[in-house]
Structure 1
Amino acid sequence: MTGPLTDVHAHLWPEDYLALLEEHHRPVSGARAMNATDRPSHLAARIAELNTAGIDRQLVSAAAQMPDFPQATAAAHAARLANDRCAQAVARHPDRLGFLAVLPLPHLDEAITEARHALGVLGAHGVALTWQTGDRQITEHRFDPLFAHLADQGTTVLLHPGGTLPAPPSTPESLRWTAGALAEQTFGLLRWLATERPRRFPRLTAVIARAGGAACLLPPSLLPQPLPPQVRFDSHTQGNHAALRYAADTYGADRIDLGTDHPFARGPDLVAAVNAYRRLAPSPSPAPRTLP
């Protein structure tokens, strides 16, 4: 594979943002332990990992540590802080990093305002959303004005699990993010298609994280044939490279972009994820669309 390789699914959690989440009683110890903040030493280590893995550019976001506070003002402040700090991190390594903005959902007006700021002022490459925000699904029609605004800008949206799928009380947290996220991405994609987002917002590109979950295993009758061109997938399959190959055979390798879930994939796992993606197709992962 030749040409620049862009990782569209990676995480960066600014230190100020994690501190703010903690003030609001959000659990952040796991994110802190990943050493994936905007601290200069963490950014330098990230760039070194990209070099080793052969990744030319990485699009980071603060997902799935989302600024979805119940109070609109607090949510808007948190989203602005996360995006400003991500933009500052990108400015330190502009040739290697870009970012996807997080939005203060479920607060619609504030989310549109922040999208306008992040895309138009900060230069975000798109936005990262989770399927659920508070007790709302983002596929509800009440969020259509946000998607209309994003579509007007020709925005790319990374649709990421939020760890919200119900599970029995005794389910270990690790399974909520392995089996649970797989199911969440599957149902999310089906809802995205059932609510006709691609038809109603044709200039909005959706990248479904984690290769669309288990959707590629469903009966073909449950998915439109062919899938709308505005629906893409990232290549993160939690190290199951056979699953990635099957997803590529089902959807078409040309609609799968490199996604590593870094820093959850590091060292040899990061290299293996890139190599598995490179084996899919002879062309590089395109960077998500930016504003004109």
Structure 2
Amino acid sequence: MNTALRIDTHQHILPPEYAEWMHAKGIRPGGVDLPAWSEPAARAFMDDHGIQTGILSLSTPGVWFGDDTEARGWARQINEFSAEVVRGRPDRFGFFATLTLPDVAGALTEARYALDTLHADGIVLLANNDGRYLGDPGFAPLLEFLHDREAVVFIHPGELPAPPVPGIPTFTADFLLDTTRTALSLILTGAMDKYPGIKFVLAHAGGFVPYIASRIMLTIFTTNTDVRQSEPTDRQDAEGDPLAVLKQFYYDIALSASPSALPSLLAVADPDHITYGSDFPFAPPAAVGLINSQYENYPLDPTLRTAIDRGNCETLFPRLKQ
């Protein structure tokens, strides 16, 4: 086991009352049973996997099910529960605050409260919210606020706005497509240019983003006249590379540190923008151990490995800097 004091940007929390709510609704996130969670179990898991601090977040399906008032109540309850966990062990935990999208007014209210009163380390947003991806113009007031606050925003996939394929759990491939869709939405709507203060962290190595980087480049040129005909912009580096926009994203390696996935990620991502992730407790400890073994045996430069394990997160979350 790697003994690095990792910072885990992809670790989930399941407050007991929220878990009961999900069970009552019969929801199986990603097509799997809802796992159990407790703070002692999370700390034991981290101790076994070289993780010093886990940044906790609520996973899909979030809190919005068509009722804004209900969603606002649950978001507040979950964020206060998470903040209490962090207050007890600020060295071991942080948290990304849950919001109420597509309810933008509620999301703005909760984001202010979470950041200013609860001192959240950032915000978690689902890739799509009632079928609307994050570049949707209606979400602009929230993105502008998060840009002004220079917030860290963890983007987690959810269920696609389409029927699932029978027999295939949605976490297997649909989740990766959901993340990819929202990354493209942010790029093609110009949100990445308009709101550079936001530090977007894409779950699971960005879904399919690294693997389809050339298709993204083609899409930029065929759908955005300004990029195609202009001098290099914020989306292009000094050599006119339109894929420089992909280096603006951060990427966690949760369930994505395999010998097949890492080369694509390393070819696309800025080395300073890759973070460690476990996906506990949705990924059981045995699965995390297997992925960690692959990651630890992958021939990475030691400086880069240290940056992924901890250093890049110390930049994102200065309070955790040793």
Match of 1:157 in 2: 153
Matched with 1:258 is 276
Kindly indicate whether the alpha-carbon contact (under 8 Å) linking 2:157 and 2:203 is maintained by their aligned counterparts in 1: yes
Q: Which runs of 5+ in 1 are unaligned?
A: 37-41
Output the CA distance in 1 between the equivalents of 2:96 and 2:189. 24
User: Which structure is higher in RCO with an 8 Å CA cutoff and minimum separation 6?
Assistant: 1
Residue 207 of structure 1 aligns to which amino acid in structure 2?
A: V
Match of 1:96 in 2: 92
**If the length of structure 1 is used for normalisation, what is the TM-score?**
0.86
2:18 alignment counterpart: 17
Q: Which structure 2 segments of 5+ residues have no match?
A: 218-241
Residues 165, 184 of structure 1: 8 Å contact kept: no
Q: Which amino acid aligns with 1:220?
A: S
Structure 1 CA distance for aligned equivalents of residues 14 and 161 of structure 2: 23
Within 1, Cα distance between the matches of 2:177 and 2:274?
A: 19
Whole-angstrom distance in 1 between the partners of 2:146 and 2:283: 30
Trace 1:56-205 onto structure 2 (pairs within 5 A).
56-167=52-163, 170-172=165-167, 174=169, 176-205=170-199
- 1:13 maps to amino acid: L
SS class of match (2:55) = strand
Q: Is the CA contact (8 Å cut-off) linking 2:257 and 2:292 kept in structure 1?
A: no
Deviation at residue 76 of structure 1 after TM alignment = 0.6
Q: CA deviation at 1:92?
A: 2.5
Percent identity between the two aligned chains:
27
TM-score after normalising by structure 2: 0.79
Q: Deviations over 1:124-163 (max 9, x none)?
A: 1111111211242222011110011111111011111112
Give the equivalent residue in structure 1 for 2:252: 234
Return closer, same or farther for 1:190/1:5 CA change in 2, 3 Å cut-off.
same
What's the CA shift string for 1:247-290, capped at 9, x where partnerless?
Answer: 11232433211111111333343234345555542433333347
Tell me the amino acid that sits aligned with residue 10 of structure 1. Q
Distance 2:258 2:285 in 1: 16
Deviations 1:51-92 (A, max 9, x none): 111011110111213111322211110110111111112223
Q: Which residue does the alignment assign to 2:264?
A: 246
Distance 1:276 1:55, change over 3 A: farther
Instruction: Please tell me the residue identity of whatever aligns with 2:207.
Output: G
Partner of 1:27: 27
| Residues in 2 aligned to 1:157 and 1:218: alpha-carbon distance in whole angstroms | 23
Asked if the contact 2:205–2:253 (Cα under 8 Å) also holds between the matched residues in 1, the reply is: yes
Query: Does residue 283 in structure 1 map to residue 306 in structure 2?
Result: yes
Larger radius of gyration: 2
Please tell me the residue identity of whatever aligns with 1:255.
H
